[in-house]
A and B are shown apart, each in its own frame.
Chain A
Amino acid sequence: MNKNVKFGLIIVAILGTLGWLAAGGINQTASYYKEIAELERLQPNEKIDKRLRVGGDVELNSITREGRDVHFVLVQEKDGVKRRLKVIYNGTDPLPDTFKDNAPCQALVDGKLGSDNVFRASKLQAKCASKYEAKPVAPVTRG
């Protein structure tokens, strides 16, 4: 066989395998970013199948623990309407340290929406007003 053909075949085989693996990996783990408003418009079959990723503000003082589950409410304001979404986090990873009740927090949850319209999250990323972005709030003045 011509050596160029051989090289070509091997390269195609390698890249093909990797491409196939990658495509499979994407199908397996793809999760779709949605806004809370968009969740209401989802088709019933989409609700069950798709892994979703929803972001929003964590409602102040809404975080409660029940056993290993953590319950809280996500809020998203759009066009002047505040939409709320109940979330139950039941993932295995510990909650991020930044996730707390007394500070304005944004959370990104990953999971599926149940037929009861409660979001069951297996992953949670919290983005709380970190110091890097926090505006200095009325620094203490001293003479």
Chain B
Amino acid sequence: MENIGALAILLAFCFAVYAIVGSLVGKWAKRPFLTLSAERAVYSVWALLTAAASILIYSLIKGDFRMAYVWATSNHTMPTPYKFAAWWGGQEGSLLLWSWLLSTYAAIIVFQNRRKFREMMPYVVSVLMFTQTFFLILNGFVASPFKMIAAGRGIVDIGDGQGLNPLLQYWTMVIHPPMLYLGYVGFIAPFAFAIASLATKQRGDAWIHTTRRWTLVTWMFQTTGVLLGMGWAYAVLGWGGYWGWDPVENASLLPWITATAFLHSVMMQEKKGMMKVWNMVLVSSTFFLCIFGTFLTRSGIVQSVHAFSEGPIGKYFVAFMVIGISGTVYLILSRLEYLKSESQMESVLSRESSFMFNNLILLAGCFAVLWGTLFPVITEAIMGEKISVDKPFFNRVNIPIGMFLLLLTGVGPLIAWRRSSFESLKRAFMWPAVLGLMVSMGLFAAGIRSFYALMSFGLCAFVLVTVALEFYKGAKAISGKSGRNLLVSMFELTHRNTRRYGGYLVHVGIVILFVGFTGAAFNKDTTVELPQGGTMQIGAYTLRVVGYEEGENANYSWGRPKIAVTKNGEELPMMMPEQRFYFASQTPTHDIALRRRLNEDLYINYAGPGNGNNNVILQVYVNPLVSWVWIGYWVVLIGTIICLVPSKTKLVFPRTEVVGIAGKRAGAEKHAKTEG
């Protein structure tokens, strides 16, 4: 079995190399059948990798512990879904997942465009397969999931494996890595088309139109992946928070930031023909940050709780990134004349400038996070001394950035293109600004003194009012004409321009997320050691230890104190945080007790028995507004899905200020433009 798997990977590698050579030679030598055969090779790569992955999954579920990977990540007692999830529970398997997802995406791209973009497709295929080859080198020769531990030692059978890391035995961990990878890997589609567009010297933005949905969908996966990771950290790691600016968390955030910047700045290119070079830079940075993120989690270059072990694969990633980035930079520089801007910034108070500032701020945030993450590496290289920075650094820089972004979220979509007057600004923003200020002042009067919290809540109110007004005005106009009620008109309005109103909804989701984040300013926490019958107080809650239970099952043994909780004297259901000890891996973990409410969460972690005989050590957190983070995510998701629905009215973007040859070309492109 394992030999077939390894053979499949080896064959896939050959096919991938063939696809690169075939498509490029076919293109240059004008042999369409060679190009076609290269595209067919892409399907073969997918089929072979699917076979390899199936074999690995089969071995994991069946428990073939002679295989090193199966031995390290699976065991008999694990529930089947976790045996399946063990596919991405370790280094080798997760790299195979990367590879397989990439080949799946590649196959879909080739299939979708089998009759389109004949000029560009050979380059698209070669970019896809170049990346695929890199990962297949890792799968086949560096980190093979099909290595045997029992080979050649006369060992026929190995009883049981170590099992999946207990921290990963949690439902969000079953879907978090695939989601994140779907997002990471998916960004190769816009990148490949961008490169193809450069290689074929296209002036237009066909690559943006054809990959808009890809970009949105992969952005959605990335968002989901990041949020699931937060949800997992919150519910499993037991330190009471969801984001610790850990290098691996940062690695997942970086491409998300540039992808978000890209989603905004492509609008400038679509509508005004501006920022063309910039978009190329953004799409490439996003792609390479995705690779970089994968590298960071696997190379052991920075210390992190989530990282895989150090391995020899770091240098392969470095080599791939150096080759890829230099190639991309060369292509962009050599094609600058095809990327000339069609119009200019006219005023500081304009939609264009709000897009520019949005990008500037996002990129500054991305840079700050990257800088902070790599600070030990940078200082060691420059000063010979490793210095690391911590949470306060990230918060100090990123909170103001968040505030500014929040402001732009409200202002950007409403400010006029080209230039805006103070009169029109006043008309559009007076009420939102007044209401935002009222919220801040009201909260100040209610006793909140945290500057950033006041500012954040005020800005949230400001953005919500601007969006609400937009929906209201649009719906009122429709209902005035059609006579239908406001709610129906609002649906109609959204359906007419899904991109715009779906986008507003995403913004609302982001605002809700910020409400949740801001709650962290009011977190309370404490660690106590309590005897049986002992009580403690935190916020409005009183906790009393009333008992202790223990037991075991096949997978782990557990112990849990029973804690009676009252809030302002009112009795609440019993809470039982649990400590587990997994037999296979000899590791303890914690299963927290969590009472989620919209206003605040009560979060109890049982850290273990204390010094006294029956004492228990409890870590107790009261986290206000955390639930809004998860609610915000769902709103973002719904908004993104609405953006993906085709608009009822077809959109034509009149490009102002486009005259002469460029104007004619823009006109011609509009006719040729593919839908979406």
Q: Which of A29, A33, A110, A125 lies at the interface centre, i.e. has the most chain B CB atoms within 10 A of its CB?
A: A29
Is there contact, CB below 8 Å, between B393 and A25?
Answer: yes
Q: Which of A66, A98, A131 lies at the interface centre, i.e. has the most chain B CB atoms within 10 A of its CB?
A: A131
Interface SS of chain B: helix, strand, loop or mixed?
mixed
Q: Assuming the A-B contacts A66-B611, A125-B303, A132-B309, are A29 and B587 also in contact, with contact meaning beta carbons closer than 8 angstroms in the complex?
A: no
Report the separation of the CA atoms of residues A11 and B358 in the bound assembly, to the nearest whole angstrom. Answer: 12
Interface flags, A15-54, vs B, CB<8A=1, else 0: 1011001101110111111000000000000000000010
Is there contact, CB below 8 Å, between B309 and A130?
Answer: yes
Q: Whose C-beta in chain B lies nearest to the C-beta of A51? A: B390
Is there contact, CB below 8 Å, between B353 and A7?
Answer: yes
Q: Which residues of B contact A130 (CB under 8 A)?
A: 165, 309
Report the separation of the CA atoms of residues A12 and B619 in the bound assembly, to the nearest whole angstrom. Answer: 45
Is there contact, CB below 8 Å, between B90 and A132?
Answer: yes
Is there contact, CB below 8 Å, between A29 and B156?
Answer: no
State how many angstroms separate the Cβ of B306 from the closest Cβ of chain A.
11
Residue A94 is within 8 A (CB to CB) of chain B in the complex: yes
Interface flags, B10-36, vs A, CB<8A=1, else 0: 000000000000000000000000000
Report the separation of the CA atoms of residues A68 and B619 in the bound assembly, to the nearest whole angstrom. Answer: 11
Q: Assuming the A-B contacts A24-B396, A131-B72, A131-B162, are A33 and B309 also in contact, with contact meaning beta carbons closer than 8 angstroms in the complex?
A: no
Residue A115 is within 8 A (CB to CB) of chain B in the complex: no
Q: Which of A6, A21, A65 lies at the interface centre, i.e. has the most chain B CB atoms within 10 A of its CB?
A: A21
Q: Which residues of B contact A131 (CB under 8 A)?
A: 72-73, 90, 162, 165, 585
Q: Assuming the A-B contacts A3-B347, A139-B158, are A25 and B525 also in contact, with contact meaning beta carbons closer than 8 angstroms in the complex?
A: no
Is there contact, CB below 8 Å, between A98 and B587?
Answer: yes
Report the separation of the CA atoms of residues A142 and B157 in the bound assembly, to the nearest whole angstrom. Answer: 6
Is there contact, CB below 8 Å, between A133 and B393?
Answer: no
Is there contact, CB below 8 Å, between B388 and A68?
Answer: no
Residue B421 is within 8 A (CB to CB) of chain A in the complex: no
Is there contact, CB below 8 Å, between B353 and A31?
Answer: no
Q: Which residues of A contact B386 (CB under 8 A)?
A: 32-33, 53
Residue B401 is within 8 A (CB to CB) of chain A in the complex: yes
Q: Whose C-beta in chain A lies nearest to the C-beta of B304? A: A125
Is there contact, CB below 8 Å, between A136 and B396?
Answer: no
Is there contact, CB below 8 Å, between A21 and B348?
Answer: no
Is there contact, CB below 8 Å, between A29 and B389?
Answer: yes
Interface-side segment among B132-140, B368-376, B627-635, B642-650: B368-376
Residue from A65, A92, A96, A143 within 8 A of B305 (CB atoms): A96
Q: Which residues of B contact A125 (CB under 8 A)?
A: 303, 305
Q: Which of A10, A26, A140 lies at the interface centre, i.e. has the most chain B CB atoms within 10 A of its CB?
A: A26
Q: Assuming the A-B contacts A18-B364, A131-B72, are A94 and B390 also in contact, with contact meaning beta carbons closer than 8 angstroms in the complex?
A: no
Interface flags, B122-141, vs A, CB<8A=1, else 0: 00000000000000000000
Q: Which of under 10, 10 to 19, 20 to 34, or 35 or more describes the interface residues of A?
A: 35 or more
Interface flags, A60-103, vs B, CB<8A=1, else 0: 00000111100000000000000000000000111111101011
Is there contact, CB below 8 Å, between A18 and B368?
Answer: yes
Q: Assuming the A-B contacts A21-B397, A33-B385, A131-B585, are A136 and B68 also in contact, with contact meaning beta carbons closer than 8 angstroms in the complex?
A: yes
Residue B327 is within 8 A (CB to CB) of chain A in the complex: no
Report the separation of the CA atoms of residues A54 and B619 in the bound assembly, to the nearest whole angstrom. Answer: 26
Residue from A97, A103, A139 within 8 A of B71 (CB atoms): A139
Is there contact, CB below 8 Å, between A103 and B586?
Answer: yes
Is there contact, CB below 8 Å, between B156 and A142?
Answer: yes
Report the separation of the CA atoms of residues A42 and B594 in the bound assembly, to the nearest whole angstrom. Answer: 45
Is there contact, CB below 8 Å, between A29 and B391?
Answer: yes
Q: Whose C-beta in chain B lies nearest to the C-beta of A22? A: B397
Report the separation of the CA atoms of residues A110 and B68 in the bound assembly, to the nearest whole angstrom. Answer: 35
State how many angstroms separate the Cβ of B576 from the closest Cβ of chain A.
17
Residue B2 is within 8 A (CB to CB) of chain A in the complex: no
Q: Whose C-beta in chain A lies nearest to the C-beta of B368? A: A22
Report the separation of the CA atoms of residues A38 and B336 in the bound assembly, to the nearest whole angstrom. Answer: 52
Report the separation of the CA atoms of residues A130 and B300 in the bound assembly, to the nearest whole angstrom. Answer: 13
Q: Which residues of A contact B154 (CB under 8 A)?
A: 141
State how many angstroms separate the Cβ of B499 from the closest Cβ of chain A.
28
Q: Whose C-beta in chain A lies nearest to the C-beta of B73? A: A131
Is there contact, CB below 8 Å, between B389 and A65?
Answer: no
Q: Whose C-beta in chain B lies nearest to the C-beta of A4? A: B345
State how many angstroms separate the Cβ of A33 from the closest Cβ of chain B.
4
Is there contact, CB below 8 Å, between B588 and A28?
Answer: no
Q: Which residues of B contact A29 (CB under 8 A)?
A: 389-393
Beta-carbon contacts under 8 Å, B576-614 to A: 585-590, 605, 607, 610-611
Q: Which residues of A contact B388 (CB under 8 A)?
A: 30-31, 33, 53
Is there contact, CB below 8 Å, between B529 and A68?
Answer: yes
Residue from A3, A33, A97, A132 within 8 A of B376 (CB atoms): A33
Q: Assuming the A-B contacts A28-B393, A31-B388, A93-B239, are A127 and B72 also in contact, with contact meaning beta carbons closer than 8 angstroms in the complex?
A: no
Q: Which residues of B contact A3 (CB under 8 A)?
A: 345-348
State how many angstroms separate the Cβ of B201 from the closest Cβ of chain A.
30
Q: Which residues of B contact A6 (CB under 8 A)?
A: 348
Q: Which residues of A contact B392 (CB under 8 A)?
A: 25, 28-29
Residue B150 is within 8 A (CB to CB) of chain A in the complex: yes
Residue A118 is within 8 A (CB to CB) of chain B in the complex: no
Interface flags, A114-133, vs B, CB<8A=1, else 0: 00000000010101001111
* Additional A-B contacts beyond A3-B345, A28-B392, A142-B157 (17; CB < 8 A): A18-B400, A18-B401, A22-B371, A25-B392, A25-B393, A25-B397, A28-B396, A29-B391, A31-B388, A66-B611, A102-B586, A110-B390, A130-B165, A132-B309, A133-B310, A139-B71, A142-B158
Can you report 19 residue pairs joining A to B where beta carbons are below 8 Å apart?
A7-B348, A11-B360, A14-B357, A14-B364, A18-B401, A21-B400, A25-B395, A28-B393, A29-B389, A29-B391, A53-B386, A65-B611, A108-B303, A127-B303, A131-B72, A132-B91, A132-B309, A139-B159, A142-B158
Q: Which residues from chain B sit less than 8 Å from chain A, CB to CB?
A: 65, 68, 71-73, 90-91, 149-150, 154-160, 162, 165-167, 238-239, 303, 305, 308-310, 345-348, 353, 357, 360-361, 364, 368, 371, 375-376, 385-397, 400-401, 404, 525, 527, 529, 585-590, 605, 607, 610-611, 617, 619
Cβ-closest 3 pairs across A and B: A33-B386, A25-B393, A133-B309
Q: Which residues from chain A sit less than 8 Å from chain B, CB to CB?
A: 3, 6-7, 10-11, 14-15, 17-18, 21-22, 24-26, 28-33, 53, 65-68, 92-98, 100, 102-103, 108, 110, 123, 125, 127, 130-134, 136, 139-143
